[in-house]
Chain A
Amino acid sequence: MARTRFLQGLDELRARLLRMGGLAEQAVDRACQAYIERDLTRCRMVLDGETQINLTEREIDEMAFDLLAMQQPMAVDLRFILAVTKINADLERVGDQAVNIAERVMDMVDLPKADLPVDIPRMAAAVSAMVRRALESFIEGKAELAQAVLEMDNVVDRMKDEAFIVLVKSMNDHPETTRQALDALLVARNLERVADHATNIAEDVIFWVRGADVRHNVAPEQPEHQEVTDPH
């Protein structure tokens, strides 16, 4: 009863999600680089890339829907497809956040450059690393990699909180750069949201691999499922 067509379908779904992951990761990296270099070309690349991300999201959902309807997957396969649909939605939202950042940059470049007391590049590097690690955990099917992403989220949360404090102070102290500070604050918030999506992706990978629901820090009701060394 080797389900060749079904297994091929799962492989295709996986490959398509990896492509989606690549697009979303690229969008975030481009948006962050655009912020650092005040680069309008990269901003436009992010905006142009959104259509492809949206199309890919729909294709993946359609493939997952077909597999669920036609193949009635069970156990690890069912968890995999559910995880893919959720990761897919998170990646699309990552793309949206990249667009938001690009739009902030486009607003910023019209303003005089301000020396703000916030290290957005450092935060961007941490967030990009989270997205990359979350996608790696999916590629490898490794829950430990995904677990590491969850721990990184706290660091990014702290960075965003610190950015808020120093940028609000900057607005008070230097009202002439309020718009620039506000743009930086919004970029910090967008990055923090990207980190949240990376966290969601990592949680979905853990669900797929271990069958454990680790969302919202609620202890799983049942003991964790044995690790799947080669899920597919």
Chain B
Amino acid sequence: MGVGIQVDKLNAWFGKTQALYDINMTVAANHATAVIGPSGCGKSTFVRCLNRMHETVPEARATGRVRIGEMDVYNGTSAVQIRRRIGMVFQKANPFPTMSIYDNVAAGLTLNGFHDRKRLDEIVERSLALSALWDEVKDTMRKKSGASLSGGQQQRLCIARAIAVEPQVLLMDEPCSALDPISTGKIEELIFQLKEKFTIVIVTHNMQQASRVAEFTGFFLLGKLIEFDKTEKIFTTPSDKRTEDYITGRFG
């Protein structure tokens, strides 16, 4: 099951440049939360702070408190432990090109020393089924490379790989920006179903997508969280003029 995320006074920097300012947010468990805002507003930095990917950038740092369920992300927990609990899907699908589809999905487990073949088979099947990819690859998954799939299939493969290790949270950084409308529709349908098992935070430039998949939406601008509310409120009657100007295309 997914867990909630509590963010308190999160600040982030790239060297001397501050990218996030005092972000406070409560992400509900087993819901999808969208993060929107213009380019450079800090939305990707925000999600990368949730699983400590931010600190992998040279001279990048973050302060504040992030709790994923009972786990304190920035206090007493290793980055590896955190990333086992938090899966991530990126803008560009990045399957391991030399591995088969099956091995791609199993990679997270086998790299951690899990080699029970029967159990692996079960997990791979379940992950591919949850990613709505099983029917399309079940006959070829051991022979074909992950890179042989279409863009939309590769993205679903990446989702299968992320959920195979049974994370509690799934972070998605513009997962559909390189996909056609059919593949986008499949991923969005998937997000809707994955909410039952995981907490989802999705960064998107596509406001229609945010309104379709997320129950909650946060609007970022210049590193600040301007407004966070139920998605229907944000897209019909936002409280802040800056949110309204952005979602109606008057700036950005």
Contacts and interface: CB of A to CB of B under 8 A. Distances in A.
Do A and B pair up? The answer is yes
Interface of A: 1-3, 6, 72-79, 211, 222, 225-226, 228
Contact of A226 (B239, B247, B248): B239
Nearest to A82: B236
B207 interface: yes
Given A1-B251, A211-B236, A226 B207 contact: no
A211 B249 contact: no
B237 A222 contact: yes
Interface in B202-219: 207-208, 211
Contact of B237 (A3, A6, A72, A211): A211
Contacts of B241: 226
Nearest to A226: B239
Given A1-B252, A73-B248, A228-B244, 5 more contacts: A2-B249, A3-B248, A74-B235, A76-B244, A222-B237
B236 A78 contact: yes
Interface size class of B (residues with CB under 8 A): 10 to 19
Contacts of A72: 208
Interface string B134-163: 000000000000000000000000000000
Given A1-B249, A1-B252, A3-B249, A74 B237 contact: no
A117 B241 CA distance: 54
Interface of B: 38, 207-208, 211, 233, 235-239, 241, 243-244, 247-252
Contacts of B250: 2-3
A225 to B, nearest CB: 4
Contacts of A74: 207, 211, 235-236, 247-248
A103 B237 CA distance: 44
Given A211-B237, A225-B239, A75 B249 contact: no
Q: Top 7 closest A-B pairs, CB basis?
A: A211-B237, A3-B249, A225-B237, A74-B247, A1-B252, A77-B248, A75-B244
A79 B239 CA distance: 14
A73 B249 CA distance: 9
Contacts of B244: 75-76, 228
Contact of A6 (B38, B235, B249, B252): B249
Contacts of A1: 38, 249, 251-252
Nearest to B247: A74
A61 to B, nearest CB: 21
Contacts of B207: 74
Nearest to B249: A3
A74 B236 CA distance: 6
Contacts of A228: 244
Contacts of A3: 248-250
A75 B208 CA distance: 12
B222 to A, nearest CB: 16
B228 to A, nearest CB: 15
Contacts of A77: 248
Contacts of A75: 235-238, 243-244, 247-248
Nearest to B240: A226
A36 to B, nearest CB: 44
Contacts of B235: 74-75, 78
A48 B38 CA distance: 52
A1 B243 CA distance: 14
Contacts of B239: 225-226
A26 B250 CA distance: 36
Which of B208, B241, B247, B248 has the most C-beta atoms of chain A within 10 angstroms of its own C-beta?
B248
Contacts of A225: 237-239
A110 to B, nearest CB: 53
Nearest to B238: A75
B249 A79 contact: no
A61 B166 CA distance: 50
23 contacts: A1-B38, A1-B252, A2-B251, A3-B248, A3-B249, A74-B207, A74-B211, A74-B235, A74-B247, A74-B248, A75-B235, A75-B238, A75-B244, A75-B248, A76-B244, A76-B248, A77-B248, A79-B236, A211-B236, A222-B233, A225-B238, A225-B239, A226-B241
